[in-house]
Amino acid sequence: MRYIVTGGAGFIGSNLAEQLVRDGHEVVIFDDLSAGRRENIEHLLIHPRVSFFEGSVTDLALLIDACAGADGIFHQAAVASVPRSVANPLETNEVNVAGTLNVLWAAKECGVPTVVAASTSAIYGDDPVFPKIETMAPGPLSPYAASKLAGEYYGSVFADLYGVRTVFLRYFNVFGPRQDPNSEYAAVIPKFITRLLEDKSPIIYGDGEQTRDFISVADVARANILAMEGDASGVFNIAGGSRISLNHLASILMEITGIHRRPIYEPPRAGDVRDSLADISRAGEAFGFSPRSTLEAGLRETVAWFRDADR
């Protein structure tokens, strides 16, 4: 098959592209390198079945060129940060809403039958009911969450009006190799790991008792491929199916790294949800997804990758 991966030089996109190449597919990586990094895909670009388009999903003409003859699109490109969206909602809307609409239109124009797209658990907001199920009313608390919800609605409309099968995967807290720790908007696990490896205290926003449902990037890549190869459409939670407090997470990482430092607590950040836990049964029933990696095994692999990256 010939697959397009938007955001394919990013954290999740590069891991997904790598798995697709392993599976024997032709892969077109589409990325403007604003968040993604060329070093994430350099080992793929030498492969004869891999090509690269440098550009933004806001460039409809380039998207249509890239998508010609594709069998499916994995849409991972996004402004994927709650704090960044709070600081710049206009940019978030342009990339996440208009960009997703462009991807869907390119699929329709090029006759691409299926789009599997990244969505987010942030759509649920702070609804106190756990676990989160896909039929719950949305309650976005940030421009990022609102933009992802708009993308889901566009996906549903394109499925109904134009016959493009759309699958939106609501990622919970993804972690693993190639996750960028250097941005002020970076996710918690790479931030914790890199600070510990630098012999510094991890920084926790809030009291640390907020909970997250973590899932390895390898499992997320597999979920995308299962969704593409299946026949289901709609919205699905992709998560580990259990939750852990940030305080407990920090203590596990200290045990794995062998570096123990008392966390520094800062005020909570605007737009962050308090707790997160997914019901993942719908994805299991629809296309056979269940996580293979345990949290601790995934954390050990991730710590090892960051240690190697520092050498």
pTM of the model: 0.94
Instruction: Compute CA 218 distance to the chain's CA centroid, rounded to the nearest angstrom.
Output: 11
| pLDDT value of residue 272 | 82
> Is residue 229 included in any domain, yes or no?
yes
**pLDDT at residue 70 is higher than 80:** yes
Going by their DSSP bridges, the two strands 214-216 and 244-245 should be labelled as: unpaired
Domain that holds residue 28: 2-176+215-239
- The number of residues in the chain equals 311
> Is residue 128 included in any domain, yes or no?
yes
> Is residue 69 included in any domain, yes or no?
yes
Number of helices (H) and strands (E), helices first, in the chain?
A: 12, 13
> Is residue 129 included in any domain, yes or no?
yes
H helix runs in 130-173, sequence order: 143-162
> Is residue 71 included in any domain, yes or no?
yes
Q: What whole-number distance in Å separates Cα of residue 153 and Cα of residue 149?
A: 6
H helix runs in the chain, sequence order: 11-22, 42-45, 60-67, 82-87, 89-93, 99-110, 143-162, 188-197, 217-229, 246-257, 281-287, 295-309
pLDDT in tens, 204-263: 999 999 999 999 999 999 999 999 999 999 999 999 999 999 999 999 999 999 999 999
Instruction: Give the pLDDT band of residue 185 (cuts 50, 70, 90).
Output: low
pLDDT in tens, 145-167: 999 999 999 999 999 999 999 99
Segment 1-25 mean pLDDT: 98
Q: What is the CATH number of the domain that holds 144?
A: 3.40.50.720
pLDDT in tens, 282-309: 999 999 999 999 999 999 999 999 999 8
> Is residue 120 included in any domain, yes or no?
yes
**pLDDT at residue 130 is higher than 70:** yes
| pLDDT value of residue 76 | 98
Tally the domains of the chain.
Answer: 1
> Is residue 274 included in any domain, yes or no?
no
Pick the closest to residue 29 from 58, 10, 1, 4 (CA basis): 4
Dihedral sign, Cα of residue 72, residue 290, residue 285, residue 129: negative
| pLDDT value of residue 54 | 98
Pick the closest to residue 109 from 154, 68, 75, 150 (CA basis): 68
| pLDDT value of residue 270 | 82
| pLDDT value of residue 243 | 94
> Is residue 25 included in any domain, yes or no?
yes
Segment 30-44 mean pLDDT: 96
What is the residue type of 280?
Answer: I
Give the active site residues. Answer: 144
Segment 114-126 mean pLDDT: 95
**pLDDT at residue 114 is higher than 80:** yes
DSSP symbol at 94: I
